[in-house]
Amino acid sequence: MKKLYITGIFCALISTIHAQYVGDALRFSESFNGGTARSVSMGGAFGALGGDFGALSSNPAGLGVYRMSEFTLSPSFYKGDVTSRYFGTSSSDYKYDFNLNNLGVVFNNTSKKESGLISTSFAIGFNRLNNFNNYYLIQGQNEYNSIGDYFLDNAYDNIGPLNPDDLDPFYERLAFDAYIIDTLSDGSGDYFTEVPLPIDQVKTLETSGGVKEWSFSFGGNYNHTLFFGATFGLRKLRYEEIAHHKEYDNSDMWVDYGQTLDVRGTGYNFKLGVIYKPIQMLRIGLAYHSPTAYYIEEEYYSTMQSIYVNYTVYPTDYYGDKLDVGINEYKLITPFKLVASAGLVLMDNLILSAEYEFTDYSTMRLRSRDIENDFTNANNEIRSAYQATSNIKGGAEFRLGNISLRAGMGYYGSPYKSDQMNSNADYMNYNAGIGFRDKKVFLDLAYSYLAYNENYILYDYDNINEVPKANLDISKQKIIATVGFRF
């Protein structure tokens, strides 16, 4: 039997393997207000208006509104802020990021006819739909349990204690080798931990990456009344996570456990849309977004450093040989989306727009060809945890000659069912912007603020009243500048 004199651990942990994939399915399925500065500043409510590359992510029929060819480029500055509250302690941190929010070109062909098929357009480019850059700092004193209790619980299966050689090499086996958990000397094989309580805990989580969608779109204008469009979408997904959980007593850290996760994916979808203009001032839009079929590969690795034994523990196989990174390949099917929109053009200087999105997150599905990685339980968790949601967006633009003033808002309903911990995790999006336009050149500037609140569990625990849960206030701010040329 090993002696245990350490008092804590350093750990990055997703509560269970299934919970990891269930959470990732939602993370990679959500999309928010993105694209050009003009569409962002109006809350993304551009589905019935068209004539803007950012609108192609909502309704490809907006391509039929174009009268000229166009090139757009939209660099952006991003800041993510997170404030946490954990066992009475408040902490905050932030992260910056620079990226391209949009890049696109539209080729327009307008005929001289005034009836029938008036014009057609083809477009290629991308809009950024999500940004994962954030830095989380969570700290406080836990008097109920330690991460050692989590490892202890997972050292058992339905029959009894697992043999140490059968423990997960990326989780419980590291805790065993680092003297976090041990077996009793009575020969029963039972495990124990001597991490004292209360224990000071610090969790840091740095995430990066995002989702951008390349659009290959075709649209047309029929009789200046019906606009139509279709898009083949190619989504590129990247998500990186570096997590640390520290536990110490009397300010002496004893053990560090770290985990890294690198996810890359490619997804395919299509979109169909129409815009109908019954009268000059009114436009009505409708679009269908197919599910995105992602093909995903992830790499993960864990290490644990015990100050007590003064060495770093790495994952090993049954024979004690050091393992390389863990690799998993799987498929994710995201929900479909329906988008209804309306726009009013008043007095040639005022535009009002609204948009409604419907999507059902309970229809997300995980697939794998690996028999050992069956996602049946994870898919059952998706059905029980998530629900259909409604997203509502609105925007306005007021023109003063070549200058336009814009504002918009968006509400994104919580994807969690009412009995879930984050059932009230709604998103609010506030936007404003200004633009300059003449016949050949336009410059736009937008500011976007997305805010939401969620609860975060550092690690799973059997007693629901003692789960180490942090409350997070999260905000994402963007400043986007678009420069465009018509030709």
Range of the domain at 49: 17-486
16 pLDDT tier (thresholds 50, 70, 90): very low
Average pLDDT over residues 147-170: 92
Tell me which residue of 156, 255, 257 sits closest to 462, measured CA to CA: 156
334 domain-assigned? yes
Residue 310 contacts residue 355 (beta carbons within 8 Å): no
Tell whether the model's pLDDT for residue 3 goes beyond 70: no
Of the chain, the percentage scoring pLDDT greater than 90 comes to 80
Per the structure, the count of domains in the chain is 1
**The predicted structure's pLDDT at residue 254:** 79
Whichever domain contains 315, its CATH number is 2.40.160.60
Specify the residue for token string 């994952």.
Answer: 315
pLDDT tens-digit readout, 321-334: 899 999 999 999 99
The reported pLDDT for the residue numbered 13 is: 31
Number of residues assigned to the chain: 487
Q: What angle do CA 42, 48, 49 make, to 5 degrees?
A: 60
In this prediction, residues 427-440 reach a mean pLDDT of 96
pLDDT bracket for residue 306 (50, 70, 90): confident
Residue 299 lies in a domain: yes
Question: Residue 5's pLDDT is what?
Answer: 26
Mean pLDDT of the chain: 91
Secondary structure of 16-67 in HEC code, one letter for each residue = CHHHHHHHHHHHHHCCCCCCCHHHHHCCCCCCCCCCCHHHHHCCHHHHHHCC
Beta bridge partners of 357: 339, 391
Statement: residue 312 has pLDDT above 70: yes
The confidence band for 1, taking pLDDT boundaries of 50, 70 and 90, is very low
**Residue 363 above 80 pLDDT?**
yes
Note the pLDDT tens digit of each residue in 178-195: 888 999 988 889 999 888
**Residue 277 falls within a domain, yes or no?**
yes
**For residue 394, is it within any domain?**
yes
Predicted confidence band of residue 473 (pLDDT cuts 50, 70, 90): very high
186 or 463: which leads in pLDDT: 186
pTM of the complete model: 0.91
Question: d(Cα 337, Cα 15) in Å, to the nearest integer?
Answer: 30
pLDDT of residue 18: 53
255 is a domain residue: yes
Do the domain assignments include residue 9?
no
444 belongs to a structural domain: yes
Contact by Cβ (8 Å): 131, 476: yes
Residue 137 near residue 93 (C-beta atoms within 8 A) = yes
Pairing of strands 311-313, 326-333: unpaired
Q: What is the pLDDT of residue 4?
A: 30
- Choose among 481, 482, 477, 479: nearest CA to 133: 477
Mean pLDDT calculated for residue range 155-165:
93
Report yes or no on 3 lying in a domain: no
* Least reliable range by pLDDT among 62-66, 68-72, 248-252: 248-252
| Dist CA 24 CA 95 (whole Å) | 21
